[in-house]
Amino acid sequence: MEPARNDTGPHVTSYSITVEAPADELYTLVADPHRHHEFHGSQTVQARARGPRELTNGARFSVHMRKYGLPYRLPLRVTQARRPTSATPGIVEWRQPTGHRWSWEFEPLDAASTRVTESYDATSQWRVIRATLRLAQVPRVNAESIQRSLRHMAKICRPPGH
């Protein structure tokens, strides 16, 4: 199954996919920043992170990144963290220093499958940064990375024999 683009407005890039795994299991994976390198589609997230093993509202963490061969570390702050229940989708969202947000939502479809949505939201990003990143094709690159992340998550979480 291929990720489907969500209609979310001019400054949000968002895709969803159905993953054959329980929502709580997927939430646990994304809520642990030390595991982000396992599924992240940009190939920039490295295996080293600082912070808690489970992200909670207000928590701070950072991930080691590498882009164009250059290492760097991003300080991040969790803006939302809510474990999914049978009645409520779960979410993990963090804010980057320039104002944009990354979020993962987990909507249980049944006990064994979940609609997973990853979004890049530049709505509250500084306008000059947003304009510069648009010129540099960052929204397009992020869209490609989101789709790869979702496909990778669906693949690594696939039940045995599928």
Q: Write down all domains in the chain, each with its CATH number in brackets.
A: 4-156 (3.30.530.20)
Q: Give me the pLDDT at residue 118, please.
A: 96
What pTM was estimated for this model as a whole? Answer: 0.89
Q: What is the mean pLDDT of the chain?
A: 87
Task: Give CA–CA dist 35/75, Å, rounded.
Answer: 16
CA distance 75 to 1: 33
The residues facing 115 across adjacent strands are 18, 107
Give the amino acid at 95.
Answer: R
> What is the chain's pLDDT, residue by residue, as a tens digit (162 residues)?
799 999 888 889 999 999 999 999 999 999 998 887 777 766 766 567 788 999 999 999 888 777 777 876 889 999 999 999 988 999 999 999 888 899 999 999 999 999 999 999 988 887 788 788 788 777 888 899 899 999 989 988 876 555
Supply the pLDDT for residue 68: 76
56-89 residue pLDDT tens: 999 998 887 777 778 768 899 999 999 999 889 9
In what order do the strands lie in the sheet containing 101-110? Answer: 4-5, 12-19, 113-121, 101-110, 90-95, 70-82, 60-67, 45-50
